[in-house]
Amino acid sequence: MKISLLQQMYEDVVGGIPLAKESHHYTSLLNLHVEQPPERDESCNQMHLPSTNDGIRSHQDTDMSDVVVPTTDDISNSFANMNSSFCPREVMLLQLTLIKVMVAKAESQEIEFNVRQKYCEIFVLLLKEAKIDSKLICLLSSDDQLLTHMASKSLASLVYFQLKEENALNVTWLTFSLKTLSGFPVNTHIAECLWTLTTIIKDILKDKVLPKAGILKKLLTPLDAVLEGFYDSILFHHFDSHHYTSPYSEAANNLISFIDLLEALLASRIELELPLRCQRVLFLKVSYVLNLISSSIHYLIKKLFIMLLKKCVLYKSREDAKSGSLFLQNPSSREDMLALSNAVLQVVNLTWLDQIPLGEKASYFGGSEDAQGSSDQTVLRALSLVVLKALEFKFQNSATEAEIKGDFQSSMSQLLIFWRSHMKSSAQSHPVVHHCEWLSLIFIEQDDDMWEAAKALLLIYLKFDRLRHDAADNLSRKEEETWNFLTHASGCNPHCIFLFFLEKIAFDSTVLLDFLISSETCFLEYLVRYLKLLRKDWQQFVDICNHFDTKHSTFQSVSSVKPPHQENQSCMTDESLQNACCEPEPQTPVSFTSSHNYSVFTTEQGDNEVAESNQSNSLICTDSTSLLGSLQSLVDYDSSEDSELESDGKECLVNTKQVPLNNEDETRVRESGCSYTDDKRNALKSEVLPLKQKGSNTSSCLTFIESSDNIVPLRIMLFKSTKCLEELQKAISRLQRRNLFPYNPSALLKLLSHIEKISKNVNPQ
């Protein structure tokens, strides 16, 4: 009889139908009978309510409400086919489901006020008279995993309801939580307690009306000291124990549940003007986490902690997190970030990264076989970002160059070694020969992380440069060369980083435009800062572009000492640009760091690097279509009717300089079509076209003749990079005129316009 009444009550609640009978009637229906632990009944195997596996409780249970609670249609169909012979377990599951659904309905403004008021009366009776909270706590110790999970969710809902409606903390639940957490490690049955607290915090954070600060303070203040003590107890452990080698053990499950709680506490601290100690402990005692990550604990737990550290340094513990700048306005937040940064850099300098064996890259549906055997790129990026952001924050809080130079050199040395060891070149990729290229290779698959990393290195560069100039008004040429070499050797030169990235996207301005429009990256902030640097540091940008061209234009020279098959003209496409090394060469050796061998930062030169030559009669051909089209932009920005006529992205720079060639008269550089023959680099077959054919849509390539006495600069990289920025400026202007740009880009357009003027005034030689 009771089950049929519960069925009818469920249908009324889901349908929003007012409950007609008195509140005591419904309280008796929802009252749990837990005098004895409910046992599984073999006759209940054909129940239609959803069930979970009976294994160890998973840390994911806190996010399984959509799975466990069935939809209205599913329940209605199930009830229609059920008989009245329900076992006690299934009755209890339906009661728990009803409690959770009713709490959600009571919080919904779409439900009529009198209906919500009725639900509130029922909850008061359940808590005051039926002592439903004590019975739910008893269910948390059940061996039935589904009952335990549902009891945890229902208990969290009721505690949250009391906090919101009565502004009171449930004393029964608080007593249970204090006893459970303070009893660890003697009492190891703690996961359910952690689930409940985590769910309550998340429910508070999701509420758009509730004054979060006051409610969070009321919830966490009584637990503050106990949570910090629990942090010490659970993390100050010997994790080499076999209990932590499997993610399915109780010990591992407790730890994973605690990670979920730490993430919720991290998300909640941004709501309080003065965070509590339990919200700060992850920052102040991060060394426990760092030691755990380098232990022999299961890889899944390591990965979860690494991703949690990444959220710490990015201030993005919630999807709708507030700005990181607001976070850092709080003095305690700055103190916490500095403590975390110092701890991270300290262990990194002690080869901590080498002690973290990354798992294999995760398999994805439709993935290629090349991914097999490679490192987990998600964890690789996360660890890299943690180190870079720690360096950035350490720089922001340092007053002199001497304070940070040692940490910077040592940490970047370790990071470069870490990258090299986990990014093995495949047969299709080229060896990395310049340290500034690592950033785009590591982060190219994750846009938001890439621009956070690029911004961190840019801010480090700017702060370092400012400290140098503050220390000495006039820097000598030797000091400038040493500084330039340091930035390239450590992989943080902003011009190199930007140019390598432009190469990776084939100089496609629409990709940059996608980043600017997206709210998921910090590309706008990065680009504005970089353009300001570019405006005052133009000559170094030009020099680095020339270094790119110099390295890209090295080729097998035509020489009498070469074999006959090597005396043909060679053609290089833009793909060969990736073998560049734009590393400046100082006139004097530089001692990069006292603790690491200098060879760590030297350029790796392999067989693929072609020797430079001063011989004449050499031809270089670049086909810009080799990379164009490799990436598709998200939006076709040239589709509007009044779009300005722009190039199709396939033109190539034509150099019309006249260069002496042996004993002949002056030879004019002309456009030429070029093609390859086979894989063995046979002789280039080129057909010189008339110079007047500038309007042709055919992909063209740059040709120039070089002599030992007069070398004409290519300026390929300078042309393509400035052309990309010009196209970006035009696209933004078009969208702004039509009021289609999501924000006011006036300041950005002003910077881009200034860069365009500078580039057009540059001496072509």
Q: Over range 641-663, report the average pLDDT.
A: 37
Give the three-class secondary structure for 472: coil
Contact of 463 with 529, CB cutoff 8 Å? no
pLDDT tens-digit profile of 91-135?
999 999 999 999 999 988 888 899 999 999 999 999 999 999 999
Q: Is the backbone peptide bond immediately before 185 cis, with ω within 30 degrees of 0? A: yes
- pLDDT value, residue 720: 94
Give the rounded percent of residues in the chain with a pLDDT score beyond 70. Answer: 65
Domain ranges for the chain, please list them: 1-33+86-166, 169-305, 327-361+374-491, 506-553+714-764
pLDDT exceeds 70 at position 525: yes
Q: What's the CA gap between 55 and 76, in Å, rounded? A: 29
| Higher-scoring residue by pLDDT: 629, 308 | 308
What does each C-alpha distance from 604 to 287, 439, 550, 682 come to in angstroms?
A: 35, 17, 17, 27
* CB-side neighbour CA atoms (13 Å) of 498: 27
Listing DSSP states for 474-492 in one string gives: S--HHHHHHHHHHHHHTT-
pLDDT at 421: 86
The lowest-confidence range among 35-39, 294-298, 707-711 is 707-711
pLDDT at 736: 94
Spatial separation of the C-alpha atoms in residues 155 and 122, rounded to whole Å: 15
Q: Would you say residue 657 has pLDDT above 50?
A: no
In terms of Cα–Cα distance, which of 551, 684, 712, 534 is closest to 621? Answer: 684
What confidence tens digit (pLDDT) does each residue in 185-226 have?
888 899 999 999 999 999 999 988 888 999 999 999 999 999
- Of the candidates 348, 328, 345, the one whose C-alpha atom is nearest the C-alpha of residue 337 is 328
CA 335, CA 280: separation in Å to the nearest integer? Answer: 10
Residue environment code for 126-152, b if the CB has 16+ CB neighbours within 10 A, otherwise e: bbeebebbebbbebbebebbbbbbbbb
Q: Please give the helix or strand (H or E) that residue 299 lies within, else none.
A: helix 299-314
Q: What is the pLDDT of residues 568-610, one digit of tens each?
A: 433 333 333 333 344 443 333 333 333 333 333 333 444 333 3
What are the CA-CA distances from residue 319 to residues 316, 388, 492 (Å)?
7, 22, 29
Q: What is the pLDDT of residues 449-466, one digit of tens each?
A: 999 999 999 999 999 888
Displacement of CA 762 from its chain's centroid (Å): 38
pLDDT at site 744: 93
- Tell me, what's the pLDDT at 452? 93
Residue type, 129: E
| Residue 88 near residue 41 (C-beta atoms within 8 A) | yes
Return the pLDDT at 659: 36
Using pLDDT thresholds of 50, 70 and 90, give the confidence band for residue 60.
Answer: very low
Indicate whether this model's pTM tops 0.75: no
Q: How many CB atoms lie within 10 A of CB 68?
A: 19
Alpha-carbon distance of 105 to 27, in angstroms, equals: 16
The Cα 255–Cα 257 span in angstroms is 5
| pLDDT classification of 73: cutoffs 50, 70, 90 | very low
Q: Dump pLDDT digits (tens) for 160-193.
A: 999 998 999 999 999 999 999 999 988 889 999 9
pLDDT tens digits for range 15-57: 888 998 999 999 999 999 876 444 434 333 333 333 333 333 3
| Secondary structure (H, E, C), 36-49 | CCCCCCHHHCCCCC
State yes or no: pLDDT of 535 exceeds 70.
yes
Binning pLDDT at 50, 70 and 90, where does residue 408 land?
Answer: confident
